[in-house]
Structure 1
Amino acid sequence: MLLRLPTSVSEAQECMTEGAVPIGGATLVWAAWQRDGFPDHAMSLRDLPEANTIGRETLGAAVVLNRIDDRVPEVMRRAAATVGTGAVRRTATVGGNIVGSTLRCLLPPALALDARAVILEPEGVNETDLAEVLAKRHLLLSLRWREPISSSYHKAAGEAGGPPPLVIAAAVHSADDGQRLLRVAVREDEEVFSDSTVCHTDAEQDLRALRDGSFGRLPAATWDAVRRHVTDLLARSADR
């Protein structure tokens, strides 16, 4: 297998047109390749500057999870810190987790941040929403979002070999009209739910708006956990 390490967008595009397979940190594909055979050409974005950004409003797809620190919002930082083991976090990448993984542990925080995806296509660099990235398995370069007022993350305890643990990610944002917007994303088993509402002075009104949306499908116990988590975030955000 020939591994390509492009250092520019144009070089990465050339690798794509030649059929190189993106590998991320290879934590998800290595076992399958050992079983089914290795591709002739593979490509890693670890040397591409555009895929290695870390900041308050951006995160590169080639960033390994243990590099995610307090430069990014709390919801994304805490999510990355709970993925797998320390050994996994030293090799697994943002792009591999969101696009290549079935659990997509970083997807709920990305949705809570209302992140947009910067993708690389043979024609050039484009920006799109996360739903299209997941549906079409685009090559992710980075995530971009507007820095929230505050954010938070909760992951329930899980059992080895059991179902994926409950994940709740939430963020409060400043809207263009001066209001505040609450965005919440929940992973229940392997399904991800997300919704948003304008913040009111009454947290119960915000919770009712969420419950009337897609979160109405959540089991009662899961909704109770969401209620507690969102109530706490709104209380912490009130004086910011």
Structure 2
Amino acid sequence: MLLRLPTTLPEAQECLTDGAIPVGGATLVWAAWQRDGFPEQAVSLREVPEANVLGAGELGAAVLLHRIDERVPEVLRRAASGIGTGAVRRTATVGGNVVGSTLRCLLPAALVLDARARVLAAEGPFETDLSELLAKKPLLLSLRWNDPLVSGYRKVTEAPGGPPPLVVATAVHATEEGGQVLRVAVRDGYEFLSESVPCGTGTGTDPDPGTDSDAVLDALWATSIGALPEEAREVVREQVVSVLERAAER
């Protein structure tokens, strides 16, 4: 197998035109290639600057998980820190996790950030939404987002060998109209749910934050999130109340 290491987008584009297969951090594809056979060519973006950005509302696909730090929102940082072991995080990449993994541990965080994907096709780079990224799986260059006011993340501990643990990601964003919107994303098994509901004016003058939280939760339960099992809904409730309280303190 020939591993190609382009240093520019045009070089990476040429690799795709030649049929090279994206390798990411190789933590997921290597075992499959050993079982099913190696491709003639693979391509890694680890030398491409556009795939190594970190901070200022953008995270490159070639960034190793252990490098994700305070330059990104809390929800994304905590999601990355809980993936696998330290050895895995020093090898696995953002792109490999979001696009190449069935677990997609970073996806709930990306969903509540309302992230967009910058991708590279044989025709050149372009921006798309996460649903198209996952459906068509073009080569991911980076994720881009507008920073939330606050965000949160919880990964429930599960017994080894069982289904993927429940993940709940939350974020509160300011709207152009001066209000706020709550975004919630849940990984339940191998299924992903993502919903958003209004959650306040952002004035911090609500005399009864508890009532406001109850109203936001009522709106959230009317979405697909409300169909979750009771145990999962309780985790969602705790995370929503926490992130709303933190948003009200800003």
TM bucket by the smaller chain? over 0.9
Equivalent positions of 1:61-72 (< 5 A) are 61-72=61-72
Equivalent positions of 1:154-165 (< 5 A) are 154-165=154-165
- SS in structure 1 of the partner of residue 161 of structure 2: coil
- How far apart, in 2, do the equivalents of 1:160 and 1:223 lie? 22
Structure 1 residue 189: Cα displacement: 0.8
CA deviation digits over 1:134-160, x for unaligned, max 9?
011111000000011010100001222
State whether residues 65 and 94 of structure 1, in contact with CA within 8 Å, keep that contact through their aligned partners in structure 2. Answer: yes
Equivalent positions of 1:5-154 (< 5 A) are 5-154=5-154
Q: Does 1:197 align with 2:207?
A: no
Aligned length: 240
- SS in structure 2 of the partner of residue 224 of structure 1: helix
Moved over 4 A (4+): none
- How far apart, in 1, do the equivalents of 2:187 and 2:144 lie? 21
**TM-score, normalization by structure 2:** 0.94
State whether residues 172 and 180 of structure 1, in contact with CA within 8 Å, keep that contact through their aligned partners in structure 2. Answer: yes
Q: Does 1:219 align with 2:225?
A: no
Equivalent position to 1:234, from 217, 241, 244: 244
**TM-score, normalization by structure 1:** 0.98
- SS in structure 2 of the partner of residue 199 of structure 1: strand
Q: Which is worse superposed, 59-68 or 195-204?
A: 195-204
**Unmatched runs of 5 consecutive residues or more in structure 2:** 201-205, 207-211
State whether residues 56 and 73 of structure 1, in contact with CA within 8 Å, keep that contact through their aligned partners in structure 2. Answer: no
Aligned to 2:3: 3
CA deviation digits over 1:47-97, x for unaligned, max 9?
000000110411000001000001000000000000011111011000000
**Unmatched runs of 5 consecutive residues or more in structure 1:** none
